[in-house]
């Protein structure tokens, strides 16, 4: 498939250029993840009560997410993000989604809001992984 021919993936990114689509999906991931991380850092107490999760856990997750988001943001700033780091982001996102669901089933005892939040963020992160994987694949075609 040629880079000038729109595909459903590149149409979603509103570009026919696969590298631009990949960069946009990485940037969106960085913004959403960064906002989530900063919220956990700034409001771990109130969010912990709302979600039924230990505020200390949210602080740790917030720090991790902020650093991860900065790395993904840096990767998205490259004209042609390298495949290996993109694959690492995809795998990290998939791992996050799976571990979130496992934690919900085995370790966490969240409020109803916390349970819904955990599932929604896992689905969102898995969606980022899928979009990034497909965009990376389109860059190689």
**pLDDT by residue (tens digit) across 10-26?**
556 566 688 999 999 99
**pLDDT by residue (tens digit) across 35-65?**
999 999 999 999 999 999 999 999 999 999 9
Residue 26 near residue 81 (C-beta atoms within 8 A): yes
Residue 117, pLDDT above cutoff 60: yes
Residue 1, pLDDT above cutoff 90: no
Q: Could you give the CA distance from residue 10 to residue 104 in angstroms, rounded to a whole number?
A: 34
At 140, is the pLDDT very low, low, confident or very high (cuts 50, 70, 90)? confident
Q: What is the pLDDT of residue 14?
A: 63
Residue 53 near residue 121 (C-beta atoms within 8 A): no
Q: Could you give the CA distance from residue 104 to residue 111 in angstroms, rounded to a whole number?
A: 11
Asked which of 2-6, 19-23, 132-136 is least confident by mean pLDDT, the reply is: 2-6
Q: What is the pLDDT of residue 17?
A: 80
Stronger pLDDT, 9 or 97, i.e. the higher one: 97
């Amino acid at each position: 498939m040629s880079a000038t021919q729109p595909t459903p993936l590149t149409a979603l990114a509103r570009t026919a250029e696969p590298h631009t689509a990949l960069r946009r999906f990485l940037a969106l991931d960085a913004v959403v993840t960064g906002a989530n991380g900063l919220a956990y850092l700034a409001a771990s107490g109130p969010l912990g009560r709302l979600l039924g999760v230990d505020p200390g856990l949210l602080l740790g997750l917030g720090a991790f997410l902020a650093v991860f988001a900065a790395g993904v943001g840096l990767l998205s700033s490259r004209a042609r993000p390298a495949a290996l780091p993109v694959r690492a982001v995809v795998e990290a996102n998939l791992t996050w989604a799976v571990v979130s669901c496992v934690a919900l089933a085995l370790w966490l005892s969240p409020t109803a809001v916390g349970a819904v939040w955990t599932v929604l963020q896992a689905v969102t992160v898995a969606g980022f992984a899928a979009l990034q994987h497909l965009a990376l694949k389109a860059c190689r075609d």
